[in-house]
Chain A
Amino acid sequence: MYDVIVIGAGPAGATAALETSYGGLKTLLIDEQLEAGGQVWRARSKSIINAPKNNYSIAGDDLRSRVGAGLVNILFGVRVWQIEKANDHWTLGIQGCEEKQVKAKKLVIATGAQERVIPVPGWTLPGVFGLAGATALFKEHMIIPGRRTIVAGNGPLLFYVASEVLRLGGQVSAVVSLNSRKDWLGVLPGMLRNPSLIIQGLSWMFSLYKNRVPIYWQHAVKSIAGKSSVEGANICAVDKNWSLISQGEQYIKGESVCYGQGLMPAIEATRLAGADHHFDEKLGGWVPTLDKYGRTSVSGLYACGDNAGILGADAAPHRGGLTANAIFEDTGMSNRVDINQKAYDASIKFGLAATKLSIPRAGYESFISAETEVCRCEGISRAEIDYEIKNGSLSPDAIKSGTRCGMGPCGGRFCNESVSILTEYLTGKNRKEIGITSARPPLRPVCMDSVSNELNYNDLPIPGVSPL
């Protein structure tokens, strides 16, 4: 039995785990990747280990060396598939290692963010990457998604991805930004709280300018074209609500499209663990309801990092430290991690400003044409979902039952957002009223023989036979 288990070894989770283990609590840190760092401080593959360092790799290497020092127990390359609470402790079902279950008195969930990708015709073609997915290619492998790339969507990630493609030797056909220049001006005061990132942002913009990359402000990809893989994209202007304006369509060539509309908290684990959640668009969508230390509504359950609201990498270590403090307090210990409140406040302001650029707008509905595949696991089009909603299914669970949308291996991770957007559009209800699908294990598909050791038939715990 561990005192603390932390799921997710990004900057928030790893910080929480390091601090609780420094404080003397027996701590286990679990991550599905092979090394700590999460998405933002992702470790490099061996083939690029000697490439020049940058801010992300330096911060990540520092974190990895502290995690590697051996005080905190680690299970990397391991996936959690089930979380349940019994009286005073948590049991996690895990796969990818010899142990099948681990237990702890306190559980910290630091599962980070996931991408928001609004379907458009062609979005499932090979050559379409999520914006955050593309950053993983850069950080881990220094690979670019294709020779000529169209970068489209919103938020700061657009410009980071475009400049990285250029830096790594690719071409950028265009940056297609839903945000207008005015949107950016609106969030600048918040962003100025982190001058070093502003400087970094300016250097991204400078590289685009130097390479004469056209930037289409307040534009969207209307469709992605190609037979067997991406050949180009049709783009058009959007109005203030980000509804497509059909006149003045343009075709841009490119062999890949990096595409995404910001980040959402990855809340499957906190939901499965039974925590209360609420909708907060400023924090990226549905988030666990927390106190300022990261305590959830369930005793012994904590959340920190982007899964507790999208605030980004700078805020994450502070949030991890605060959660460690909550655990110390809840276990009756006097240790406290020093939190630099001023730096934390600044990182929150920066994070909220960056997230604001990606707050969904009503026009997303216009991106998804009737034939567009919304649920790629089950091949469900928008028309089928619209029909189900018009036929009276109003909750995400009812729509899922009636159409199979979200019943495939991804568990609705990609299509739930689109279904809510369509429900919002067709019913006029808000996201809070619409709600969210029921939480169900496993968190990731789990191979049947990996959940348990081999069965001796006579050992099966056969309860009473059903009544005759």
Chain B
Amino acid sequence: MTCTFDIAVIGGGIMGCGAALQLAGGGMNTVILEQGDIGGGASGVNAGTLSMQIKRVKLMPYAIKGHAEWESMGSSVGFKKTGGYTLAFNDREAELLNERMNMKREAGANITFIEPSKLENIEPHLTKKIVAASYCPDDGFANSSLTGQYYRNRIEEAGIHFFERYKVTGIRSTSEGYEINSGGETISARRILLACGGWMKTIAAMLGADLPIRARVNTVSVTERAPKFINSVIGHATGLLTMKQKDNGTLLIGGGWQGKGKPEDGRGNVSIDSLIPNLQLAQFVVPELSKIRIIRSWTGFESNVPDFYPLAGKLPNNDNVFILGCVRGGYTIGPYISKLMGDYILDKELELPLFDPSRKMEEGKLI
């Protein structure tokens, strides 16, 4: 291929496609290179939760904007605003819930507390062992399975070139930019945006950057079609459970329980040692789930850096390579922060600041 693109976006998930749409809209001749299917990585296999209650305080403004993006995509991505409850089952969790939700409310999320006794009428299938609960009417979910279909349509409409099954094997710097190789094929571009989620570290290394990126291996399970058990998104004070029921009756159970595997080795694997407590917790919260069957469990990679804040800016020491990833809550925030990223590359004024990958990162504390 001799064509030189203004920019090559490596990674065809929400981040990559979202940025590409903004870049193409700004007049850049853009190409997306995706190792698998468009939207088939973490963007397409996560639990689809759009909850303000599990967003980080500092990222709340981005999450609120991201949520609005999802709402505008509507039924084409299976968007539902159901409201969500976060539950605590002992005093320690209640304290945690109280402290955290107050801070998130101050950061702009529409969160209130609700007496557990009042929940009995609203969500009658939940356990009666709830000690404290918070509520956010904006919480909901989208269907992550539809991410690929949605973004494929969008980038096709926008006339953006994209290559699926294009696994980048090498990147070479040239006088005009970069040559990106996949097996025998080469694509050249003046700039590069790395938006390849769990695979970011490997690709950045091809450009000589050693980024402190780790990948979490989050587990999600889905049940068979069940009677209506829950109407809203159900979470746990520790963040270790998310649960929602789709219109077809299936329940999606997540919460970030860790499977096994590394992005370099494939898609990751469910681990029985973490899947079981995940399912036990779900049954504890909705006891009637015990007789419902799980029909599928899987994992997706969620990358992060030590301070658990996004990488969104220029690759250190490199003016023409940009990076976007490690966004804690990336599914919710992705459609928005990717637009910002596009604006940044287009040298436009930014609505909210980005997150410089060259910053000093201290290890974020896990309580």
A binds B: yes
**Chain A residues with a Cβ under 8 A of chain B:** 82, 84, 91, 93, 101, 274, 388, 391-395, 397-398, 400-402, 404, 407-409, 411, 438, 440-442, 445-449, 451-452, 455, 457-458, 460-468
Residue of A nearest to B39 (CB): A401
Contacts known (A402-B148, A448-B279, A449-B290); A392 close to B40, Cβ less than 8 A? no
Contact of A401 among B40, B282, B367 (CB under 8 A): B40
Query: B270 at interface (Cβ–Cβ under 8 A)?
Result: yes
A276 to B36, CA, bound (A): 18
Contact B277–A93 (Cβ < 8 Å) = no
Residue of A nearest to B292 (CB): A448
Query: B281 at interface (Cβ–Cβ under 8 A)?
Result: yes
Residue of A nearest to B279 (CB): A448
Q: Could you tell me the dominant secondary structure of chain A's interface residues?
A: loop
A467 to B297, CA, bound (A): 25
Contact A409–B366 (Cβ < 8 Å) = no
Contact A448–B272 (Cβ < 8 Å) = no
Contact B269–A445 (Cβ < 8 Å) = no
Contact B294–A455 (Cβ < 8 Å) = no
Contacting residues, chain A, for B293 (C-beta < 8 A): 409, 445-448
Contact B148–A401 (Cβ < 8 Å) = yes
Q: Could you tell me the dominant secondary structure of chain B's interface residues?
A: mixed
Contact A394–B164 (Cβ < 8 Å) = yes
A467 to B104, CA, bound (A): 13
Residue of B nearest to A392 (CB): B152
A445 to B250, CA, bound (A): 13
| Shortest CB distance A376–B (Å) | 14
Query: B202 at interface (Cβ–Cβ under 8 A)?
Result: no
Contact B277–A461 (Cβ < 8 Å) = yes
Contact of A467 among B284, B296, B366 (CB under 8 A): B366
Contacts known (A448-B289, A460-B277); A391 close to B149, Cβ less than 8 A? yes
A461 to B293, CA, bound (A): 23
12 additional A-B pairs beyond A84-B272, A395-B165, A398-B38, beta carbons within 8 Å, are: A82-B270, A93-B272, A392-B156, A401-B44, A402-B146, A409-B293, A448-B291, A448-B294, A452-B280, A461-B277, A467-B366, A468-B367
Contact A445–B295 (Cβ < 8 Å) = yes
Query: B328 at interface (Cβ–Cβ under 8 A)?
Result: yes
Contact of B294 among A84, A400, A445, A457 (CB under 8 A): A445
Contacting residues, chain B, for A440 (C-beta < 8 A): 270, 296-298
Contact A446–B156 (Cβ < 8 Å) = no
Contacting residues, chain A, for B279 (C-beta < 8 A): 448, 451-452
A401 to B36, CA, bound (A): 13
Interface residues of B in 109-149 (CB under 8 A from A): 129, 145-149
Contact A402–B149 (Cβ < 8 Å) = yes
Contact B328–A467 (Cβ < 8 Å) = yes
Contacting residues, chain B, for A411 (C-beta < 8 A): 295-296
Query: B153 at interface (Cβ–Cβ under 8 A)?
Result: yes
Contact of A442 among B89, B164, B258, B294 (CB under 8 A): B294
Contact B54–A466 (Cβ < 8 Å) = yes
| Shortest CB distance A299–B (Å) | 15
Contacts known (A393-B37, A397-B37); A447 close to B291, Cβ less than 8 A? yes
Contacting residues, chain A, for B290 (C-beta < 8 A): 447-449
Residue of B nearest to A455 (CB): B280
| Shortest CB distance B224–A (Å) | 6
A462 to B236, CA, bound (A): 11
Q: Which 6 A-B pairs have the closest CB atoms?
A: A464-B366, A449-B290, A466-B239, A445-B293, A398-B37, A455-B280
A411 to B296, CA, bound (A): 8
A428 to B152, CA, bound (A): 21
Contacting residues, chain A, for B271 (C-beta < 8 A): 84
| Shortest CB distance A209–B (Å) | 47
Query: B103 at interface (Cβ–Cβ under 8 A)?
Result: yes
Query: B167 at interface (Cβ–Cβ under 8 A)?
Result: no
| Shortest CB distance A465–B (Å) | 5
Residue pairs across A and B with Cβ atoms less than 8 A apart, 17 shown, are: A82-B275, A84-B271, A274-B269, A397-B40, A411-B296, A441-B270, A445-B224, A451-B275, A451-B276, A452-B276, A452-B279, A463-B258, A465-B239, A467-B364, A467-B366, A468-B100, A468-B103
| Shortest CB distance A373–B (Å) | 16
A451 to B56, CA, bound (A): 33
- Contact string against A for B residues 282-325, beta-carbon threshold 8 Å, 1 for contact and 0 otherwise: 11100001111111111000000000100000000000000000
Contacting residues, chain B, for A400 (C-beta < 8 A): 145
Contact B152–A466 (Cβ < 8 Å) = no
Contacting residues, chain B, for A455 (C-beta < 8 A): 277, 280-281, 283-284
A449 to B276, CA, bound (A): 10
Interface residues of B in 40-55 (CB under 8 A from A): 40, 44, 54
Contact A401–B291 (Cβ < 8 Å) = no
Interface residues of B in 49-105 (CB under 8 A from A): 54, 56-57, 89-90, 96, 100, 103
| Shortest CB distance B155–A (Å) | 10
Contact of B37 among A395, A441, A447 (CB under 8 A): A395
Contacts known (A397-B37, A466-B239); A91 close to B89, Cβ less than 8 A? no
Contact B298–A438 (Cβ < 8 Å) = yes
A428 to B261, CA, bound (A): 34
Contact A465–B148 (Cβ < 8 Å) = no
Contact of A466 among B256, B294, B296 (CB under 8 A): B256
Contact of A82 among B145, B148, B272, B277 (CB under 8 A): B272
Contacting residues, chain B, for A84 (C-beta < 8 A): 260, 269-272
